Structure 1
Amino acid sequence: MASQSQYVVDVAALHQLNERNYAGLVNLLPDDSSETVRISIGEELDFALTVTQQARYTTDIEIVQLPGHWSSEYLKTKLEVRLYHDVRMAEVLASQGVKRLAVHYRQPNPDMRHRDEKHQVNQFLADWLSLCRQRGQWQSLGTHKFVPHGFK
């Protein structure tokens, strides 16, 4: 039986990804933390971004795909993200209901997690933010401000 190659976590790459995600998410935060931001991407893809907890150095947000043409609940995007304002990083805390993601999972594992699952969910957030920048339109549901796609 051939041995598996040793997986090494690229901490620098993960930090860069978290910094880029922070920069993208800060622009989407509502002016008032009690408001929800609705993000529309095309005609059938809508998300709600809600601040769930706020402290001096951190803000926790939830990104949830709103009901639409998807029939299966488990296929809808649901992310819990913590923004660390002192280091300007964002970290996905939970994805699709899976909490406390480890940086590295041994293979095989009983939960069938990918070796680099934490990196993958943070990359998914980066890809989602890129899609929002390219095609998204969003509005704060409290003040009804509207910002067209192509925001910076």
Structure 2
Amino acid sequence: MYFPELKAPRTSNRLARLMELYESNYLLMRLLIPRLKDLDEDCYVSTQQGCVDLRLEILERCKYTTTLKLTYNFSRGSGKTSEPDLVIRIYHDARTAEAMSGLIHGKRHEQRRVRDLDEGWILNRFLYKWIKYCLLRGHRFSGLPDTAKLSPELAYS
């Protein structure tokens, strides 16, 4: 008797679950940025009382993808620190969102360069939890009055 699921490499199940996480991240990103294609500026800030401002920078817009950076900016000593600092690619046609790289807890993660499933899990699981947290705190990038537009020069000053 042949059971194909017993012969499948261990990575195939992990990859399938990671793809499901990308789909979940896409759904959460749509809640965080419901009108992404309508946003005409490159930098936005979501401000909620009692919360650190959440900053969104759109890095690239293409027909099927949008690449953006999502971060908090903290003042530390004489400068500012951006952390977490994630670069996220949204695939509109596939309806997935993938954290490609980022700074989490002081450590740089580069999943896209090394194509490492472990790095992919770290980045995307963090993205999933962080977006859920941001949504629970009331953050949104909707283009409505509670979301402020910033010029690129002011966004990180």
Both proteins in one fold, TM over 0.5: yes
Structure 1 residues 122, 73: CA separation in 2 closer, same or farther (over 3 Å shift)?
farther
Identity %: 25
The answer to whether residue 90 in structure 2 is matched with residue 83 in structure 1 is: yes
The answer to whether residue 61 in structure 2 is matched with residue 54 in structure 1 is: yes
Residue ranges of structure 2 left out of the alignment (5+ in a row)? 1-8, 148-157
SS at match of 2:74: coil
* Distance in 2 (alpha carbons) for counterparts of 1:102 and 1:144: 39
1:44 Cα deviation from its structure 2 partner: 4.4
* Distance in 2 (alpha carbons) for counterparts of 1:14 and 1:130: 17
**What letter matches 1:43 in structure 2?**
G
1:42 Cα deviation from its structure 2 partner: 5.5
SS at match of 1:13: helix
CA deviation string 1:83-129 (max 9, x = no partner): 0111100111111254434343xxxxxxxxxx712111100000011
Structure 1 residues 123, 91: CA separation in 2 closer, same or farther (over 3 Å shift)?
same
Q: Number of residues paired by the alignment?
A: 128
* Distance in 1 (alpha carbons) for counterparts of 2:83 and 2:42: 22
TM (normalized to structure 1)? 0.69
4+ residue stretches of structure 1 with deviation over 4 A?
70-75
Match of residue 114 from structure 2: 102
Alignment of 1:23-34 (within 5 A): 23-29=27-33, 30=36, 31-34=38-41
Match of residue 52 from structure 2: 45
* Distance in 2 (alpha carbons) for counterparts of 1:58 and 1:135: 27
* Distance in 1 (alpha carbons) for counterparts of 2:49 and 2:119: 28
Residue ranges of structure 1 left out of the alignment (5+ in a row)? 1-6, 105-114, 148-152
TM (normalized to structure 2)? 0.67
Q: Is the 8 A contact 2:66 2:90 kept in 1?
A: yes
Match of residue 126 from structure 1: 128
1:145 Cα deviation from its structure 2 partner: 2.3
Q: Which stretch has the larger CA shift, 18-27 or 121-130?
A: 18-27
